[in-house]
Amino acid sequence: MITPIERRIRLASLFVIAGLLVEAVSFFWKSPLSFFLFLFGACGLAAAGIVLFLVSLITVGGAPTQEPRKSS
């Protein structure tokens, strides 16, 4: 069973991997537009993946639950 935090971390990693693939394409593409592809496409995808990862660490976990105290 996949927990919500694992699902968000996998989605974040897909964004980062897609950003790396776009970076590789922009390095081999010999055109002035390849810089804009690198800047907006690759860096945007990688930044979105990093932000999603950090937000998922903060929001999904929630506050720890306290066990009810036993009365003696």
Closest CA to 44 of 63, 58, 23, 61: 23
Interval 7-22 mean pLDDT: 95
CA of 26: how far to CAs of 9, 18, 53, 62, 65, in Å?
26, 12, 25, 40, 48
- Band (29; pLDDT cuts 50, 70, 90): confident
pLDDT one-digit tens code per residue, 35-60: 999 999 999 999 999 999 999 999 87
pTM of this prediction?
Answer: 0.77
Q: How far, in Å, CA of 22 to CA of 16, rounded?
A: 10
DSSP per-residue codes, 10-40: HHHHHHHHHHHHHHHHHHH--STHHHHIIII
The pLDDT value recorded for residue 54 is: 95
